[in-house]
Structure 1
Amino acid sequence: MSPQDRHIRNVLKLFNAHGHRHDRYTLFSDCMELIAISISNSVDSRSRLEREARYLEIVGRYDRPAVEMFPQVFGEITMALEAGPGDVLGSIFTALEIHNKNRGQFFTPYPVCQMMAGVMLGSAEDARALIEAKGFVSAMEPACGAGAMVIALAEAMLAAEINYQRYLHVTAIDIDSRAVHMAYIQFALLHIPGHVIVGNSLSLETREHWFTPAHILGGWNGKLASRPRASERPRRAELGMPPGRSSPRTTAAEPTVSTIGAQLTLF
């Protein structure tokens, strides 16, 4: 058993130990939100007060043993991703058998994501040429789930000896807030610069905005605001992206709905 699998097994044991006192679906969802809030509040001052209030509201629902379990889960997830990139939370979610079959909620197996990411990234030379021309690679994920496709893309860049922590920025959207919390946690722990949104990629409605520590600490609002306009870009085919509407500039203030324009790039 790999180190990552051992940590995943430890997380499953923790949830199973408390599943008889709490609804497993709700327990998992609340745990993901608490971890996401903990990460966000360490770097994102604009949302801190609101999210801290939400944190206390969730914690107030549980007894002490359950509350003490949450940081243990956080620690195991951190160690699992320290062992290597992978869709750790997607694996845990599926193993707990709490995915929503009625809504057709199934996460793409990580080996499939790895294959797709390799195809989209292309050769290391093409990726480096794009970075040299634009400064970084941007990826848009309109139905991110737990973030497996983005993680696979980061892993592919790493295999090509490209530092994704410096040269990749991701905008990821999902209609399910729990999926967004899962993706945000994994992106944060892998230090992927990203803007993760609870919203609808088709209607362009948004409800929550989560910025990873790598996004905030790396000054990505400024980098995105100063990127060339679509007409100035040397090419449109970013990671296999089809021709389409260009994304407007992002400001350092609250992100706008238009940041999820020009999506449908990874699926």
Structure 2
Amino acid sequence: MARTVRFLKDSQKEFQKVFSELCRTRNSWQAWSDFVELSAISISNALDHESADRKKREERYLQVFNSYSAAEQGIFPQLLYLTAEALEANPDQDFLGEMFKAMELSNHWKGQFFTPYNVCRMMGEMTLADAQALVEKRGWFGIQDPCCGAGALLIAARNVLSRAHIGHTCALFVAQDIDYTAGLMCYIQLSLLGCAGYVVIADSILHPLTGPSSLLPIFQPEHDVWFMPMFYDQTWQHRILWAQMELLLGSLRKEPAEGGQDGPQAAQTPSPAPVPAAEEPPLVVGAGGQLSLF
């Protein structure tokens, strides 16, 4: 049975009322994780038509969705709508994280604690004080959180940028978390808030995100990658293409042999030229702290 919880916001009361209908036949944790997973797959597969993950996620969606009755199946889109409505009405909040804590579902994650949103907002204001200068310098910049949880830090960062009139084409959001449900909560909220970027489900210590640039990360087999809808925007796709071209041109440059400039060229496979830090710093998630810019 769902717990009786006292909420302060009408949006939270309505969400809990609808969500409790799913808890009549299963425990609240299972209902929550199923809601989060189905919502994330719905968002991802709406635009992802080519990746190898699409078919696997669609099969998973049907497996989970069909385990519920017809009446219960209609509750999932209601919950996603209420989430989107709450974030649209007040984007300055970690809606899913707050619901998760209010319904005491965090008891299932021993040792895990979601940072309060007001602390996240303070961190965002401090970290992004020079955001406008970064945009003027390169046209865009990246912001990362290697332990994203439900996404409160990145949501707060997004709102700091919004208040500074810096839109989705100027900031690339990169998030990672070891927990599947937490990472997807972050993915859902950032996607609904119109952010561009990707969320990776994997241990950020054992399997950190690295690569020649934030636009060209090297995904490992252990990485479960979820691209936000706005990352498919033509602006970002053109930037990815440009970064690929620069990397390819760099790899075609051959280094002189050890004998000097006048000696024969070394007979070896050329390696990609490093990207200058001033233009496109290499991607190492977590290298600058929990909330850092690149």
If the length of structure 2 is used for normalisation, what is the TM-score?
0.75
Question: How many pairs does the alignment contain?
Answer: 240
Q: Which moved more, 1:11-20 or 1:219-228?
A: 219-228
* C-alpha distance in structure 2 between counterparts of 1:225 and 1:128, whole Å: 25
Q: Say if 1:38 and 1:101 are closer, same or farther in 2 by CA, change over 3 A.
A: closer
Shift of residue 225, structure 1, vs aligned partner: 6.2
Partner of 1:16: 20
The residue type equivalent to 2:122 in the other structure is M
C-alpha change, 1:104 and 1:155, in structure 2 (3 Å) is same
TM-superposed CA distance for 1:103, in Å, is 2.4
Structure-2 residue corresponding to 1:80: 86
Letter in 2 for 1:197: V
Question: How far apart, CA to CA, are the structure 1 residues paired with 2:183 and 2:109?
Answer: 19
In structure 2, the CA distance between the partners of 1:41 and 1:219, relative to structure 1 (3 Å rule), is: farther
1:187 maps to 2:203: no
Give deviations 1:120-167, integer Å, cap 9, x for gaps.
111xxx32221121221201110000111001001011112222x121
What CA distance in whole angstroms lies between the structure 2 residues aligned with 1:263 and 1:55?
36
**1:95 Cα deviation (Å)?**
1.2
Partners of 2:279 and 2:58 in 1: CA distance: 44
Structure 2 matches for 1:1-267, cutoff 5 A? 5-45=9-49, 46=51, 47-85=53-91, 86-100=93-107, 103-122=110-129, 126-163=130-167, 165-204=168-207, 206-224=222-240, 226=242, 231-233=276-278, 246-247=282-283, 260=285, 262=287, 264-266=289-291
Cα deviation code 1:18-58 (max 9, x no counterpart): 32321100100011100000011110112322211110000
Name the amino acid aligned to 1:112: V
Return closer, same or farther for 1:220/1:30 CA change in 2, 3 Å cut-off.
same
Q: CA offset at residue 8 of structure 1?
A: 2.2
Q: Which amino acid aligns with 2:191?
A: A
Structure 1 position 102, deviation (Å): 5.3
Give yes or no for contact 1:193–1:218 (8 Å, CA) kept in 2: no
Instruction: Quote how far apart the aligned CAs of 1:104 are.
Output: 1.1
TM-score by length of structure 1 reads 0.82
Partner-residue secondary structure (3-state), 1:8: helix
Structure 1, unpaired ranges of 5+: 237-245, 248-258
Alpha-carbon separation, structure 1, partners of 2:201 and 2:277? 31
For residues 232-257 of structure 1, the C-alpha deviation after alignment (integer angstroms, 9 at most, x for no partner) is 40798xxxxxxxxx32xxxxxxxxxx
Higher Rg of the two aligned structures: 2
Give me the whole-angstrom Cα distance separating, in 1, the residues matched to 2:152 and 2:42. 22
Q: CA RMSD in A?
A: 2.3
